Amino acid sequence: MKSLRVKLVLITVLLQLCLSVLEVNAVGRGGTGGAVGELVENENQLRFGDLLVFPDENYNHYAVYVGNEQFTGKRAGQNIFEMNGGGCQFDTAPPPFRRHNYLDPGIATQGKSIAPQNSRQMIETIQDLMNRPLCQTYNFYMKNCEQIATRVRYGKARCNQLGTKVEPLARILRRPNIKRREASAAA
C-alpha cells in the first residue's frame, strides 16, 4: 500500500512538472492548437477584463486584458495580467488576440454562466492577488492561469480547458478555493 502511495505521489509530481514546463513555455504564445475564442485583430477592440486565450495543442493559456490601466509594478506597454511559471505578472501580448469570455451570460455553452465583475472589482481583485503569496508560485491544481484569469473576470476561479488534452483533468479542478481576503484578514 505504501509503495502504491509513493508511485501515485511520483506520478502526480511528474505530471505537475510537465504541465508547469508547458505553462512556462506558453510565454511564446504561438500556440498551434484549435481555434478557441473570437479572433480580435486590433487591440482597440478589446475591453478591460476580457479573457484572452493562447491555444496550444495540449492546453490553453489564459490571461486578462488590462490595456493601459495603471497598477503598481506594471510598466508601459504591458497589456495583460497572467499567471505563469513565475507567478502572477503583467506582460505584453501582441495582436492578434483571441478573446474567450466563455462564462459570460449569452456565451456560456457548458454549465452555468457567470456575470463578469465590474472594472473596479476586477482592479481590486488583481491588486488583492498581487499582494498575496497565492500569486507568487504557479500550481496546476490550485493556482493555474485559467483559474487566476477567471477569478479576476468573474470573481470565481474556474478551470475548464475545453477542447484540450487536459480537459478531463481540468474537470476535477473547476472550482478551486481561491477566495478574496476579507478586509479584517488583510489588516
What is residue 187's predicted lDDT score, i.e. its pLDDT?
A: 38
What is residue 10's predicted lDDT score, i.e. its pLDDT?
A: 45
What is residue 162's predicted lDDT score, i.e. its pLDDT?
A: 76
- Provide block-wise average pLDDT over 10 residues at a time, the chain (187 residues): 58 48 39 67 96 88 96 96 91 95 84 91 96 79 86 91 80 57 44
Among the listed residues 43, 170, 54, 180, the one whose alpha carbon sits nearest the alpha carbon of residue 121: 180
What is residue 111's predicted lDDT score, i.e. its pLDDT?
A: 67
- Write down the number of H helices and E strands in the chain: 5, 6
Q: Are 166 and 182 in contact (CB under 8 A)?
A: no
pLDDT in tens, 113-136: 999 999 999 999 999 999 888 788
| Structural domain harbouring 137 | 2-186
Q: How many residues in the chain?
A: 187
CATH of the domain at 128: 3.90.1720.10
Among the listed residues 135, 146, 150, 120, the one whose alpha carbon sits nearest the alpha carbon of residue 181: 135
What is residue 132's predicted lDDT score, i.e. its pLDDT?
A: 83
* Domain count within the chain: 1
What is residue 82's predicted lDDT score, i.e. its pLDDT?
A: 95
What is residue 173's predicted lDDT score, i.e. its pLDDT?
A: 61
Q: Are 119 and 48 in contact (CB under 8 A)?
A: yes
From CA 65, how far away is CA 82, in angstroms rounded? 9
What is residue 120's predicted lDDT score, i.e. its pLDDT?
A: 98
